[in-house]
Structure 1
Amino acid sequence: MSYVVYLAATALFLSGVLLFRRPRNPLTLSTCVAIILGATVFVCSAPLTLAAVNDLTGIPNFGAPLTYGMLTAYSCSLLILLINWRGGPRERVRRMVLRSMAAYGLLVVAIVVLFALADASTERLRDLDTYYANTPYMREMILLYLLGHTAATVAMCTVCVKWASEVTGLLRTGLWLIVLGGALDVTGFQLTKYTAVVARWCGHDLDALSTSVAPPMASLAALLCSAGFVLPRLLPSLSAHWRGLGDYRRLTPLWSLVRYVSTAPKPPTSWWDLPQARLQWREVSIHDALLALAPYFDDQVRERAHQAALRAGLVGGAARVAAEAAMLTDAARRAAAREAPFDEPSTYRLHATQVSGTGELVELARALHRSPTAVPAGTVNAPESEEPHVA
């Protein structure tokens, strides 16, 4: 059981690390804190951790108030995350955050005080809730942490359901994942805990609900909630980097043709550079090379290629791009042969240099890929600029 809990904690922790990019942003910070607290709860609740904490402190069951206190802090962090996510006037957000922290801070203090007053001398690593369900002060402590977690979960689900009807897209998907995780937490973890504890009060034994059913349900619920919080914030960025990686690779034919003309500064060589940063550097370098090749542009080559493209069935932009690719290839050949540029350079400007983004550059690279022309590498009389190796 400990290893399953540790696996869930690791998954939560990794999702928090992936999201931790701008710690000064309240929403990002509160999201990461909530996820990392959730991971900490799982680590603390594992029997191996509980035994280690008890041995380290020399106090039987000291791991119980530690775990319940962390769970209470996690519940509070969920409310704070929702407050920051929903936004509003800064003073109102700040006031609601402070109220939540005060309420759950008092709850943590109450849990610690009740444990200190209770007689819990027998160490229980798996069934503490049910074993001490009838013990004075321990009974109240157990009920108190469950009620605090229930209040936070119900409030979270209520807000998310209401908010989901007002938004669309990834945000709505994330909210419904949070609702699903919260519902699973209430039914799979909290309800089973309540049932097992009440059964003990009534003289029955339903401990299996608390020891075997509740922990895996809590793990799954936390993972769903974390996915709901992370998805709307992380997926757009990941999608952008994925598209950037695709464009970076699709620009390879064009970059291979002009790379030895570019005099753009060398980029950082760190292996962890994100695809968007690599794409931006390649785009700047290509534009630099195209500017250097402009004096070699031959309008006659372009016009002949344009007519040939029209005869081949290409129309509009496709014919234009094919003609530009032919002119660019000819210019690179001239530069590679160290020929002198034209006395009266062409006034034509590539369409890709007049629009923003990499879309037109990618189209030009595709045209070069369809009809590649070999240009001797490294023979252009210009400083060579190397880019970092990409595996």
Structure 2
Amino acid sequence: MSLMVYLAAAVFGLSCTVLLRRPLRVPRDPLTVSTCAAIVLGALALVCSAPLTLGTVNHLTGIANFGAPLTYGMLSAYSCSLLVLLIHWRGGSPARIRRMVLRSMAAYGALIVVIVVLFTLADPSTERLTDLDTYYANTPYMREMIVLYLLGHSAATLALCTVCVTWAREVTGLLRTGLQLILLGTLLDVVGFQLVKYTALVARWSGHDLDFLSTGVAPPMASLAALACSAGFALPRLLPMARAHWRDLNDLRGLGPLWSEVRFASIAPKPPSALSQLPRMRLHWREVSIHDGLLALTPYFDDRLRERTRDAALHQGRSAHEARVTAEAAMVADAARRAAAREEPFITPSTYRLYATEVSDTGGLVELARALARSRLAAAPAESKTLEALDSTGD
């Protein structure tokens, strides 16, 4: 069971790194900070609740069941972070937000103190790693401590459920999906963890034994709830980021033919090795380098070749834009060939401006690269036929 809890805590905590992925110099808004605080505290609460952690803490402190107030205190801190997250979600004046945050922290801080005091008064001597809630359900002070931590957690999660239901009706897209996942995780927590715990406690108070609900059902449901919540927190940030990386990688691959054509003429400095691993930075550097190479090839641009190629493309039924890009690709390939052969540039340099330099995004360069790739494919069969003809003549 400890392994499953640790896995859930790791996934829950990793979602925090997704939310914090931005340059260090960029200030982080309070909503992101409160979201990450809730995720980290939730992950810590899961780690503390694992039997292996409980046994280790008890052994290190030399106090039987010391892991119980530690876990309950961490869970109460997590509940407080959920309320703080709700306060930032709702927004308002900075003074009002600060006041409500301080009140929430004061209330749950007092709850944590009461939990510790009740545990000290109870002084439970028998170590229980998996069934402490039900084993001490009828023990004075321990009983009150268990009920208080459950009530504090229930108040926060029910408030979170209410806000998620209300807000999900007002938003769309990934944000709504994320809210629905958070709502699902919170409902799993309420029904699969809290309600099950309450049921097992009431059963103990009435003289019945439903301990399996607290020991066998509640822990995996809490882990599942944490996984759903972590997905809800991370999805609205992670999926757009993944899509952007995928587009950048596609554009980077698409620029390959153009880069191979002009790279010898580019003198743009290479980026730092750390940044070169990021798709966005690699794409930006590739764009800058290609533009630098195209600028270096400008003295070799043959306007007559471009015009002839454009007229031929129009005659073949191409659109005006397709004919333009095709002609530009032919002109760039010819300029690169002559520049690589160290031929003399034109006495009067061309003043023509490529379409790829007129647009601000990467699309123009990608179009030019695709046109170059198509011209290479078209030239390959013709070159092959020429070689075959020469071979047959030689024979």
TM-score, normalised with respect to structure 1: 0.92
Q: Does 1:77 find its partner at 2:81? A: yes
Matching residue of 1:377: none
Shift of 1:331: 0.8
Cα drift, residue 195 of structure 1: 0.3
Secondary structure in 2 aligned to 1:259? helix
Query: d(CA) in 2 for partners of 1:354 and 1:144?
Result: 66
Counterparts of 1:155-234 in structure 2, within 5 Å, are: 155-234=159-238
Partner of residue 285, structure 2: 281
Given residue 15 of structure 1, which amino acid in structure 2 is its aligned partner? Answer: S
- 1:295 equivalent among 279, 293, 299: 299
Residue 235 of structure 1: aligned partner: 239
1:108 to 2:97 alignment:
no
- Contact 2:275/2:282 (CA < 8 Å) preserved in 1? no
AA partner of residue 73 (structure 2): G
Match of 2:255 in 1: 251
The structure richer in helix per residue is 2
> Does 1:12 find its partner at 2:12?
yes
Once the two structures are superposed, the pairs formed by residues 34-183 of structure 1 within 5 Å of their partners are 34-183=38-187
For the pair 1:32 / 2:36, whether they are aligned, the reply is yes
Q: In the TM superposition, what whole-angstrom CA distance separates every residue of 1:229-270 from its partner, at most 9, and x where no partner exists?
A: 221123222221221111111111111111111111111112
Structure 2: distance between partners of 1:155 and 1:272: 45
Task: Write the deviation string for residues 274-298 of structure 1: whole angstroms up to 9, x where unpaired.
Answer: 1111111111111111111111111
Cα offset, 1:272, TM superposition: 6.9
Report the AA paired with residue 178 of structure 1: I
Task: Please say if residues 119 and 135 of structure 1, whose CA atoms lie closer than 8 Å, have aligned partners that are also in contact.
Answer: no
Instruction: Write the distance in 2 (CA, Å) between the matches of 1:318 and 1:75.
Output: 60
Which deviations, in whole Å up to 9, do the C-alpha atoms of 1:170-229 show, x marking residues without a partner?
A: 111111111111111111111000000110000000001100111111111111112112
Q: Secondary structure at the match of 1:263?
A: coil
Letter in 1 for 2:252: Y
Partners in 2 of 1:198 and 1:328 — Cα distance?
81
C-alpha deviations, 1:152-171, integer Å up to 9, x for none? 00000101111111111111
Matched, 1:363 2:370: no
| 1:268 match | 272
C-alpha distance in 1 between matches for 2:293 and 2:269: 12
Q: Residues 134 and 201 of structure 1 are in contact (CA less than 8 Å); yes or no, is this contact kept in structure 2? A: yes
Question: RMSD of aligned C-alpha atoms?
Answer: 1.6
1:273 CA displacement: 2.9
- Cα pair 1:174 1:231 within 8 Å, conserved: yes
Worse-matched range after superposition: 311-320 or 257-266: 311-320
Partner AA of 2:369 in structure 1: A
Deviations 1:286-311 (A, max 9, x none): 11111111111111111111122223
Shift of 1:271: 7.2
CA deviations over 1:342-369 (Å, ceiling 9, x no partner): 1111121001101111011111111111
Report sequence identity in percent.
73
Distance in 1 of aligned mates of 2:291 and 2:217: 61
Preserved contact between residue 258 and residue 332 of structure 1 (Cα < 8 Å): yes
In structure 2, the partner of 1:2 is: 2
- Deviates further, 310-319 or 275-284: 310-319
Within the candidate set 315, 318, 321, 1:314 is matched to 318
- Write out per-residue CA displacement over residues 77-101 of structure 1, whole angstroms, 9 at most, x where no aligned residue: 1222232234332222222221211
Which runs of 5 or more residues in structure 1 are unaligned? 375-391
Cα contact 2:9–2:226 (8 A) shared by 1:
no
Distance in 2 of aligned mates of 1:333 and 1:87? 61
Match of 1:380 in 2: none
Larger radius of gyration: 2
CA–CA distance in structure 1, aligned partners of residues 121 and 317 of structure 2: 88
Conserved? CA contact 1:262–1:285, under 8 Å: yes
CA contact (8 A) 2:275 2:281 kept: no
Is residue 130–residue 210 contact of structure 1 (8 Å, CA) maintained in 2?
Answer: yes
Deviates more, 1:125-134 or 1:20-29: 20-29
Deviation digits for residues 109-149 of structure 1, max 9, x if unmatched? 11111111113110000000000000001001100010111
Q: Is the 8 A contact 1:258 1:290 kept in 2?
A: yes
Q: Distance in 1 between matches of 2:250 and 2:91?
A: 35
- State the SS of the aligned residue for 2:376: coil
Gaps of 5+ in 2: 379-395
